[in-house]
């Protein structure tokens, strides 16, 4: 792991880290956990950087991060850790946004897999096939999870009905 | 649009610290250094081991002793072109029930269930397909007169109800979890029993031919098939972490990095063991998935390696040590591969997405293809192995 490797790695991460952190937050709903997820995925990527840098390191990074997010959430739900629930949606610098609040609350009530599918499809703008590859599931599962997640969002946030459309 | 809402919902997340990439790189360098130290230590141990083995090899086999599985951990890799092997009880043509030639179980009872297959149904939003039972003579029945629904967990994840652990040790009964009940089918008579169990029941594990454990996300019930009664025995969501069999041994739970022994009548674990992968070099299991199938002193279960490889591992039920694993490689789906049953005390029957049904010999690591499978759920039974 040479100095050049490190410089390349740092440049690669700098160009993507904010977007990836936002994606991790959307999947896990917790700022600290999102940073941990991204950091852990970056360590794994750094360990394989010499092998992956000429391939598709971004795909590897996303695969690790999303799979870890889903498995972490599954463990959390199973163990019901006190004090480890997702951050509630709160105001930010842009002020109170009712739509965002309603959407964030609805999003938090989906399963981690459903959130991951939505984020990959509509936030990262990936195809169904690419989403399936990253999550390690079939395209059929991506389709059905997308459909179920959007239907659930429409039930949970009926005021946003017009905005929550497929595609 | 949904993408605008996602954008808004994460807009307040500020950019990570500028040291994030550098910090990750530094951690990776430390991890790599530790791994090198471990490799060096393992090399020294291996050298000592080879030396001792060379001194030891002159002894007759009976004096060498030792368990069937290797003393030290061994990692096998899925061969590019596995050889073939026939299992007498399974059709070489594959575990694909001929829907047009299967007979109704109520009119044509079976001798015992060699395998049960439920073709895929849930993913398309349809009700589950029927259960098909493979009899000892190779003929198929379909379980008639039982309307099954999909199981679902508290998050709404649905799946077809047949489990790899659904067949009783003798092969006479099939248990299927259902919301608020468990359905038990006697394949030798075609009789069906529905036993009420409150909750979203998800997993079944037979303890004997008369007693089956049924888990929901809140509690595990012990169901007495003969009396038709159920009592809560273990609290908490155990799901597939509950090890299937052996019938007379302790109740085992394989979860994350711990194997615990439980008693059905006492909520306190009798014994806790750390899942130990130290004999397997850099392999670390991030999490388990699918059924945990026990036989004698071994448990086999699928998992995901921390670096992303799918694997199947054999855990020593007495110590928690991972004795052997099969590295199935990366790029497979998470539910791609699952152990179905022990064929004998050293051979596991696996189902994988690319190869179909396979045997994996945990003494010599040989992997061989048995037959193809269709899309759907499968349970296979080898009497006396659970």
- pLDDT tens readout for residues B90-134: 988 888 888 788 899 999 999 999 999 998 865 556 678 899 999
Across the interface, whether the CB atoms of A165 and B16 are under 8 A apart is answered no
Confidence of residue A154 (pLDDT cuts 50, 70, 90): confident
Of the candidates A26, A34, A44, the beta carbon closest to that of B307 is on: A44
- Which residue, among A2, A3, A18, would best test binding to B if mutated, counting the most B CBs under 10 Å from its CB? A18
Across the interface, whether the CB atoms of B6 and A118 are under 8 A apart is answered yes
Across the interface, whether the CB atoms of A22 and B256 are under 8 A apart is answered no
Q: From edge to edge, which strands make up the β-sheet containing B356-361? A: B83-84, B367-371, B356-361, B347-352, B337-344
Across the interface, whether the CB atoms of A163 and B1 are under 8 A apart is answered yes
Across the interface, whether the CB atoms of A14 and B21 are under 8 A apart is answered yes
Contacting residues of A for B285, CB less than 8 Å apart: none
* Mean pLDDT for the stretch of residues A79-91: 40
Prediction ipTM score: 0.83
Residues B112 and B120: beta-carbon distance below 8 Å: no
* Mean pLDDT for the stretch of residues A45-55: 84
- Which residue, among A65, A78, A126, would best test binding to B if mutated, counting the most B CBs under 10 Å from its CB? A78
Q: How far is B185 from chain A (nearest CA, A)?
A: 30
- What pairing do the DSSP bridges indicate for beta strands B376-380 and B103-104? unpaired
Across the interface, whether the CB atoms of A13 and B7 are under 8 A apart is answered no
- Record the tokens describing residue B366, joined without a space: 């040989």
Residue-wise DSSP of B300-314: EEEEEETTS-EEEEE
Tens digit of each residue's pLDDT, chain B (386 residues): 788 889 888 888 887 766 678 878 887 877 777 666 565 665 665 566 555 554 444 433 333 333 344 457 899 999 988 999 999 889 888 888 887 888 999 999 999 999 999 988 655 566 788 999 999 999 999 999 899 998 988 777 788 899 999 999 999 999 999 999 999 999 999 999 999 999 899 999 999 899 999 999 889 999 999 999 999 988 877 878 988 766 666 789 999 889 998 888 777 778 899 999 888 888 888 789 889 998 888 999 999 887 778 899 999 998 999 999 999 988 777 678 999 999 998 999 999 988 899 999 999 999 999 988 777 899 999 987 65
Confidence of residue A95 (pLDDT cuts 50, 70, 90): very low
Residue A64 backbone dihedrals phi, psi, to 5 degrees: -65, -45
Residues B28 and A6: beta-carbon distance below 8 Å: no
* Residue B157 three-state SS: coil
Contacting residues of B for A17, CB less than 8 Å apart: 15-16, 20-21
Of the candidates A18, A26, A39, the beta carbon closest to that of B6 is on: A26
d(CA B179, CA B147): 12
Contacting residues of B for A166, CB less than 8 Å apart: 2
Contacting residues of B for A31, CB less than 8 Å apart: 13
pLDDT of residue A123: 92
Q: Is pLDDT of A82 > 50?
A: no
- Which residue, among A19, A22, A95, would best test binding to B if mutated, counting the most B CBs under 10 Å from its CB? A22
Q: How far is A52 from chain B (nearest CA, A)?
A: 13
Inter-chain CB pairs, A–B, below 8 Å: 149
Residues B89 and B382: beta-carbon distance below 8 Å: yes
Residue B103 sits at the vertex; the CA angle it makes with B372 and B171, to the nearest 5 degrees, is 65
Neighbours of B88 (CB within 10 A): 4
From B10, B24, B22, B20, select the one nearest A30 (Cα to Cα).
B10
From B294, B285, B289, B343, select the one nearest B317 (Cα to Cα).
B294
Confidence of residue A111 (pLDDT cuts 50, 70, 90): confident
pLDDT of residue B71: 52
d(CA B336, CA B333): 5
Contacting residues of B for A14, CB less than 8 Å apart: 18, 21
Contacting residues of B for A155, CB less than 8 Å apart: none
Could you tell me which chain A residue has the CA closest to the CA of B32? A47
* Residue B325 three-state SS: strand
Confidence of residue A49 (pLDDT cuts 50, 70, 90): confident
Across the interface, whether the CB atoms of B286 and A14 are under 8 A apart is answered no
d(CA B253, CA B258): 8
Chain segment A22-32, per-residue pLDDT in tens: 999 998 888 87
């Amino acid at each position: 792991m040479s100095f050049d490797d490190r410089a390349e790695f740092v440049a690669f991460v700098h160009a993507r880290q904010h977007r990836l952190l936002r994606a991790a937050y959307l999947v896990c709903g917790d700022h600290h956990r999102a940073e941990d997820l991204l950091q852990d995925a970056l360590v794994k990527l750094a360990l394989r950087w010499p092998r992956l840098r000429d391939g598709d390191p971004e795909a590897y990074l996303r695969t690790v991060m999303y799979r870890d997010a889903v498995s972490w959430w599954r463990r959390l739900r199973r163990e019901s850790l006190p004090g480890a629930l997702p951050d509630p949606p709160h105001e930010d610098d842009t002020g109170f946004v009712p739509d965002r609040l309603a959407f964030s609350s609805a999003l938090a009530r989906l399963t981690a897999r459903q959130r991951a599918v939505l984020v990959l499809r509509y936030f990262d703008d990936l195809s169904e096939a690419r989403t399936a590859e990253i999550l390690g599931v079939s395209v059929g599962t991506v389709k059905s999870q997308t459909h179920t997640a959007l239907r659930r969002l429409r039930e949970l946030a009926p005021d946003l009905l017009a905005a929550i459309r497929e595609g | 649009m949904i993408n605008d809402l996602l954008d808004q919902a994460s807009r307040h997340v500020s950019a990570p610290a500028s040291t994030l990439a550098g910090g990750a790189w530094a951690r990776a360098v430390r991890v790599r250094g530790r791994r090198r130290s471990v490799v060096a230590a393992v090399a020294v141990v291996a050298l000592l081991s080879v030396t001792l083995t060379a001194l030891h090899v002159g002894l007759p086999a009976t004096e060498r002793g030792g368990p069937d599985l290797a003393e030290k951990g061994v990692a096998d890799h899925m061969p590019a072109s596995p050889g073939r092997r026939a299992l007498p009880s399974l059709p070489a043509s594959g575990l694909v029930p001929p829907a047009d030639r299967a007979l109704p179980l109520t009119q044509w009872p079976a001798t015992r269930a060699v395998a049960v297959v439920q073709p895929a149904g849930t993913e398309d939003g349809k009700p589950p397909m029927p259960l098909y039972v493979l009899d000892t003579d190779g003929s198929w029945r379909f379980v008639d007169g039982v309307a099954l629904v999909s199981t679902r967990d508290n998050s709404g994840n649905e799946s077809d109800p047949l489990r790899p652990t659904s067949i009783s040790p003798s092969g006479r009964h099939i248990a299927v979890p259902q919301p608020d009940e468990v359905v038990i089918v006697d394949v030798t008579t075609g009789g069906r029993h529905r036993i009420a169990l409150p909750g979203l029941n998800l997993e079944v594990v037979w303890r004997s031919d008369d007693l089956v454990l049924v888990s929901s996300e809140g509690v595990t019930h012990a169901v007495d098939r003969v009396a038709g009664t159920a009592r809560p025995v273990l609290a908490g969501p155990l799901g597939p972490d509950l090890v299937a069999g052996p019938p007379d041994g302790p109740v085992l739970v394989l979860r994350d990095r711990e194997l615990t022994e439980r008693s059905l009548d006492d909520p306190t674990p009798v014994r806790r063991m750390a899942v130990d992968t130290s004999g397997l070099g850099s392999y670390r299991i991030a999490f388990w998935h699918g059924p945990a199938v026990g036989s004698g002193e071994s448990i086999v279960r699928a998992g995901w390696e921390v670096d992303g490889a799918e694997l199947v591992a054999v855990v020593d039920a007495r110590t928690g040590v991972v004795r052997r694993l099969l590295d199935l490689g990366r790029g497979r789906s998470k539910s791609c591969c699952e152990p179905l049953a022990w064929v004998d005390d050293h051979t596991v029957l696996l189902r994988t997405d690319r190869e179909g049904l396979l045997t994996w010999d945990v003494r010599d690591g040989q992997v061989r293809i048995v037959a193809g499978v269709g899309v759907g759920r499968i349970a296979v039974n080898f009497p006396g192995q659970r």
